[in-house]
Structure 1
């Protein structure tokens, strides 16, 4: 008995995977702040030192609501430090992420306002942003090796702000509309 092998009869029918529309994106959006917390050194007598820390500030059901919430946090300077009572927190970067931790929007704290990073327009622009950020991080590594830690920190921060433009492709159009709406 001769059984012919026919892969077309065994394989499932082809499936089409469609991009997930923004309207169906998982909510709520998480608002996070990245900054530095001052820690006091009580044991070694070296004085205070700073540690980078991310704080989840809250969750909101929509993009405009998340942007407004971040603005309120900055205006009121209310950062939930938890067990770091008495420590000083210096906010630097605000991130809005969806439930799947995709970047929706990023903003740089300038004085007492958030300067939201415009999302990249194309994949080619995204590649340029990644290259620029990589160059900044390489310069930061060089500066840190020369004990120029202040310059290294500034360069790393600039790279992080630049990378804030790398909004997930599913969110780019919605972010542009929201930024026009709140302007």
Structure 2
């Protein structure tokens, strides 16, 4: 007599390995913090200032993406009232230990999530390129060319948005591969 498995039941070892253990490993890294990074244009200074506004905390990456997307599409940035001229530039999701889970550029009320790096070698290349861009921005600031310096810093920060913590890389890649609801 041969036993056949029914489609609805899984062995306890498979449940432990695929469902419970990954959840336990990620628990110390929760909650996830969602924030918006942007610039303010204060009247008393001649250069815009970078600011980070907290949008909230959630317990899973897909909830964090929804929270960020909702805040961006509604232009609802808590605390922005106290910051005159706040212009959000990046949406950022970080874990409890400040490891980057996912980040994306904010354009026209939507978030363009940046794909995570696939390897440590790719991360090193991105760090090198972002450092080069920041060096060029520093030189442009020294020449008094603030517009070029700002554009170079924006390019560097978009590259750095791909530097997802190794723990979250597979999760972030999986989230970005899922079709988004309209």
- Shared fold, TM over 0.5: yes
SS in 2 for 1:39: coil
Q: 2-side partners of 1:30 and 1:101: how far apart? A: 9
Deviation for aligned residue 1:81: 2.0
- Say if 1:139 and 1:49 are closer, same or farther in 2 by CA, change over 3 A: closer
Alignment of 1:101 with 2:98, yes or no, is yes
Q: Report the equivalent of 2:67.
A: 69
What is the TM-score normalised by the length of structure 2?
Answer: 0.80
Larger Rg: 1
Q: Report the equivalent of 2:35.
A: 32
**5+ residue gaps, structure 2:** 1-20
- Could you say which structure has the higher helix fraction? 2
What is the TM-score normalised by the length of structure 1?
Answer: 0.80
* Number of corresponding residues: 157
Q: Is the 8 A contact 1:64 1:182 kept in 2?
A: no
Q: Report the equivalent of 2:54.
A: 56
- Say if 1:82 and 1:91 are closer, same or farther in 2 by CA, change over 3 A: closer
Q: Which runs of 4+ in 1 moved over 3 A?
A: none
Deviation for aligned residue 1:39: 2.0
| CA offset digits 1:14-59 (Å, max 9, x no partner) | xxxxxxx753222221001110123233xxxx7x753211111101
State the Cα RMSD in Å.
1.8
SS in 2 for 1:57: strand
Q: Is the 8 A contact 1:129 1:163 kept in 2?
A: yes
